[in-house]
C-alpha cells in the first residue's frame, strides 16, 4: 500500500472569523488529523492557516475551513498548495500579523 502524498496548504479565510473561536476550531481539527503548522488572526480581519501533512487530511481540513465553527460566517477561503517542507513538529496558534515560518 502506497503512502499518501505529503503537501503544504496555505489558506486565508475571510468573513466573520475573529472573536468566534475560529483559531481554536482549526487547532483542534488539525491536531486530530495529525497535521503540523499554525493558524493566526490577521490584522485585516482574516484568519491564516499553514498546514502540512498527507494531502487527503489537508483536503479534509480545507473543507472544515469552509465551514468554520457555528458562530463564524465564512465568506471566502483562498487556498494555495505547495510542496511539503517538514518544517514543524506540531500545530499551534501564532500571534496576529505573524510573517514567515
Residue indicated by cell numbers 517542507: 85
Question: What's the pTM?
Answer: 0.92
Q: Which of 68, 58, 66, 69 is nearest to 91 (CA)?
A: 58
Positions annotated as catalytic residues are 23, 41
Strands (E) across 28-72 are located at 36-41, 47-54
Please check the confidence at residue 42 and state whether its pLDDT lies above 90.
Answer: yes
Give the pLDDT confidence score for residue 4 in this predicted structure: 80
Cα–Cα–Cα angle for 31, 91, 21, rounded to 5 degrees: 75
Q: Which fold has domain 6-88?
A: Alpha-Beta Plaits (3.30.70)
Q: Name residues whose C-beta falls within 8 Å of residue 99's C-beta, 6 or more positions apart in sequence.
A: none
* pLDDT tens column, 43-101: 999 999 999 999 999 999 999 999 999 999 999 999 999 999 999 999 999 977 555 55
Residue ranges per domain, the chain? 6-88
Amino acid at each position: 500500500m502506497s503512502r499518501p502524498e505529503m503537501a503544504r496548504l496555505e489558506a486565508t479565510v475571510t468573513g466573520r472569523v475573529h472573536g468566534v473561536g475560529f483559531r481554536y476550531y482549526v487547532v483542534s481539527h488539525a491536531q486530530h488529523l495529525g497535521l503540523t503548522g499554525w493558524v493566526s488572526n490577521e490584522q485585516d480581519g482574516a484568519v491564516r492557516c499553514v498546514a502540512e501533512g498527507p494531502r487527503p487530511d489537508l483536503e479534509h481540513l480545507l473543507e472544515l475551513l469552509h465551514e468554520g465553527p457555528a458562530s463564524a460566517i465564512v465568506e471566502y477561503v483562498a487556498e494555495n498548495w505547495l510542496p511539503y517542507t517538514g518544517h514543524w513538529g506540531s500545530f499551534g496558534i501564532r500571534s496576529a500579523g505573524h510573517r514567515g515560518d
